[in-house]
Amino acid sequence: MALARDPLVEARKQLRSAIEILGLDDEVFEALAEPERVIQVKIPVKMDDGRVRVYTGWRSQHNSALGPYKGGVRYHPNVNMNEVIALSMWMTWKNSLAGLPYGGGKGGVRVNPKVLTPGELERLSRKYFEAISDVVGPDIDIPAPDVYTDPQVMAWYFDEYNRIKRGQYFGVVTGKPKDLGGLEARIISTGYGVAVAAREAAVKFLGGIEGKTVAVQGFGNVGYYAAKFLAEMGARIVAVSDSRGGVYNSKGFNIDDVMAAKKREGTVARYEKAEKRVGALEILELDVDILVPAAIEEVITEENASRIKAKLIVEGANGPTTTEAEKLLSERGVIIVPDILANAGGVIMSHIEWVNNRMGGWITDEEAIRKLEAKMSENVKRVVNYWEKKLSSKRPLRDAAYAIAVERVYKAMKLRGVI
């Protein structure tokens, strides 16, 4: 299956739809279709063998009407500027929809981190953050982990920024290790939020989560924790996959057992207790109640939409469903809980960490998780309520989420006198 490779086109289509629903002028679309700033940086890294390799990185700062930019940094060999811009735009809507005092930002470095040694990864991370250090900060732009970045990378960012600025700015990044002001709950937060969103949607549209069959495409951090918590909520996880393939078992999997096999074998595709193997993308078309795409963007397309059997799709990844595919699925009555709603758990927890840092420590991990669950549950109900009262049932749930998010940003820009 050929994948479209410009998520920025999708992001702008989604924005256009929200602008039309709200009855706003084209000038508003123009003001929001482009980021406020995009930075491209050159990152020379001395490798362990003495050679110097040069990598390219970006930071996109989409909109700051609601507050400082907020969004993760990803390391991936296919990262490009348009992807980073699209992701920063999605972060604007995600933060707005969640009611957070943030605008949208996103960063990326075009690199395969799997082939780097720990020392090379550290030097790359420090050089990248040094290159963007003048345009980030606790009140300016607050990066966080994303694809192939983690608390250790955030620790290097934190230390490099404080070295350059000669201070102790704990709020410059979130997703840090606990010993540097982070919350342990941050590592589970996105996946847990996806599980809560799936549970709330299942209660509304499927009669509950208990016993419902689930397929999870993408078994990284988000997919693993979404599967783990959905299983604890009573769902049956019958299929999981990663980039190398997937497995199916009608009775359901022990998720921790599958993760142990992945760590041991390098992929879930070799898990020995599976009834059958499935392809990395074939998993999307299995006959399940709930599908959780939690890997990369644009895997559900016009080409495979007719073969998708799930009644409920909960987007753990950013932009996994194209506009054309969503239209086809919505017309069939498939409910899609959009990414800006479903996977907002990470940034909600990041906000809790950021506030905690600014106040000098005020919350436990258990309290943070309870706040996250309450926020996710409230947000799902608010979007569904808007969708039921103001939109046609043939329109996707995403339209309601975007209308709420874009309207809040628009009002903030208007109050500031930007538009």
pLDDT digit string, tens, across residues 131-167: 999 999 999 999 999 889 999 999 999 999 999 999 9
Of 338, 332, 346, 344, which is closest to residue 320 (Cα–Cα)?
338
Please state, for a pLDDT cut of 90, what percent of the chain lies above it. Answer: 79
Average pLDDT over residues 204-209: 95
Res 392: pLDDT:
73
Q: Does 106 qualify as catalytic in the annotation?
A: yes
- Report the alpha-carbon distance of residue 133 to residue 122 in Å, rounded: 16
Contact 153, 129 (CB under 8 A): no
Contact 29, 16 (CB under 8 A): yes
Res 167: pLDDT:
95
Domains, in order of start, for the chain: 36-178 (3.40.50.10860), 188-342 (3.40.50.720)
Res 395: pLDDT:
86
| Window from 27-31, 172-176, 315-319, 389-393 with minimum mean pLDDT | 389-393
Res 7: pLDDT:
83
Instruction: Return left, alpha or beta for 252; rule: phi > 0 is left, psi -120 to 50 is alpha, else beta.
Output: left
Per the structure block, which two tokens stand in for 8? 């920025």
| Window from 5-14, 81-90, 211-220, 343-352 with minimum mean pLDDT | 5-14
- Report the alpha-carbon distance of residue 72 to residue 106 in Å, rounded: 5
* Neighbouring C-beta atoms of residue 24, cutoff 10 Å: 17
Average pLDDT over residues 205-220: 94
Res 362: pLDDT:
79
- Report the alpha-carbon distance of residue 313 to residue 294 in Å, rounded: 11
Res 1: pLDDT:
37
Of 73, 69, 74, which is closest to residue 36 (Cα–Cα)?
69
User: What mean pLDDT, rounded, does the chain reach?
Assistant: 93
| CA atoms within a 13 Å half-sphere pointing along the CA-CB vector of 142 | 29
Of 385, 382, 380, 383, which is closest to residue 200 (Cα–Cα)?
380
Single out the catalytic residue among 106, 127, 212, 375: 106
Per the structure block, which two tokens stand in for 399? 């339209």
Average pLDDT over residues 84-111: 96
What DSSP line would sit under 193-212, residue for residue? HHHHHHHHHHHHHTS-STT-
pLDDT surpassing 80 at residue 179: yes
pLDDT surpassing 50 at residue 113: yes
Q: What is the pLDDT of residues 254-264, one digit of tens each?
A: 999 999 989 99
Burial class (CB in 10 A: 0-12, 13-18, 19+), 55: middle
When pLDDT is cut at 50, 70 and 90, the band that residue 2 belongs to is very low
- Report the alpha-carbon distance of residue 375 to residue 341 in Å, rounded: 11
Place of tokens 């309601």: 400
pLDDT surpassing 90 at residue 393: no
Q: Pseudo-torsion of CA 90, 96, 102, 104, nearest 10°? A: 10
Res 350: pLDDT:
95
- Residue predicted with more confidence, 217 or 1: 217
- Report the alpha-carbon distance of residue 23 to residue 19 in Å, rounded: 6
Res 382: pLDDT:
95
Please state, for a pLDDT cut of 70, what percent of the chain lies above it. Answer: 99
- Report the alpha-carbon distance of residue 81 to residue 79 in Å, rounded: 7
Average pLDDT over residues 254-283: 88
Longest CA–CA separation in the chain, Å: 63
Q: What is the pLDDT of residues 333-365, one digit of tens each?
A: 999 999 999 999 999 999 999 999 998 877 899
Average pLDDT over residues 382-403: 90
Per the structure block, which two tokens stand in for 258? 């599958």
Res 107: pLDDT:
98
Residues whose CB is less than 8 angstroms from the CB of residue 106 and which lie 6 or more positions away in sequence, other chains included: 59, 60, 62, 71, 72, 73, 74, 84, 85, 87, 88, 90, 91, 146
Per the structure block, which two tokens stand in for 196? 């809560």
Res 5: pLDDT:
61
